Amino acid sequence: MTQATASNAPIGRFPIPDLHGLPEDIRSRILAVQEKSGFIPNVFLVLAHRPDEFRAFFAYHDALMDKPGGLTKAEREMIVVATSNANQCQYCVVAHGAILRIRAKDPLLADQVAINYRKADISARQKAMLDFAMKVSASAWAVNEEDFATLKTHGWAEEDVWDMAAIAAFFGMSNRLANVTSMRPNEEFYLLGRLP
């Protein structure tokens, strides 16, 4: 199965499996996402090339992004958008930018966070969160007790810090995989959440 966008560009470098030939659990998940969103995000089709890795990827994704905790779902998406921009991952900036616009109910925020979160219309607490996530993304070896102390002054709990680090680390892997596979963002993502 070859998938292409309206511009006829392929959605990824590796073979895209036929939806009907996929294992039932993966096909069901993809069809559920299609029913909910009206389209199949290309990440599902590209990663379906390797079913075991697809399952592991989305299990960890869901554990990080859909759980309750001190970070809102919008704040989790802010981390993805900011660090994905630093990693030059077009797919994740575009796709998670759309999700951020929807979760934050703000058509401007995702672009602000992607371009320069330090100038974005977010709180000092959220900027501290993104400072830490960016450090984890670029130089996790340099994380130290001062980072934890700074986050604590902004009201972040240690479990929140774990979530920040895990999201930045997971999407660092995701960004690299998306770049290597030449994963192309769905055109639908560009318009989602743009109009209030």
Q: What is the pLDDT of residues 14-62, one digit of tens each?
A: 999 999 999 999 999 999 999 999 999 999 999 999 999 999 999 999 9
Segments of the chain scoring below 50 in pLDDT = 1-2, 4
Q: Which domain holds residue 183?
A: 72-191
Q: Give pTM, 2 decimals.
A: 0.94
Same domain, 94 and 159: yes
| DSSP symbols for 119-184 | GSS--HHHHHHHHHHHHHHHHGGG--HHHHHHHHHTT--HHHHHHHHHHHHHHHHHHHHHHHTTPP
The DSSP code for 185 is: P
Same domain, 83 and 156: yes
Q: Is residue 127 part of a domain?
A: yes
Q: Is residue 53 part of a domain?
A: yes
Same domain, 47 and 133: no
Q: Is residue 174 part of a domain?
A: yes
Same domain, 102 and 183: yes
Closest CA to 5 of 190, 169, 168: 190
Q: What is the pLDDT of residue 2?
A: 42
Give the residue from 44, 65, 86 where a domain finishes.
Answer: 65
Q: Is residue 89 part of a domain?
A: yes
Half-sphere exposure in the Cβ direction for 39 (13 Å, CA): 12
Q: What is the pLDDT of residue 182?
A: 97
Give the residue from 11, 36, 65 where a domain finishes.
Answer: 65
> Number of folded domains in the chain?
2
Q: Is residue 14 part of a domain?
A: no
Q: What is the pLDDT of residue 8?
A: 73
Percentage of the chain beyond pLDDT 70 is: 96
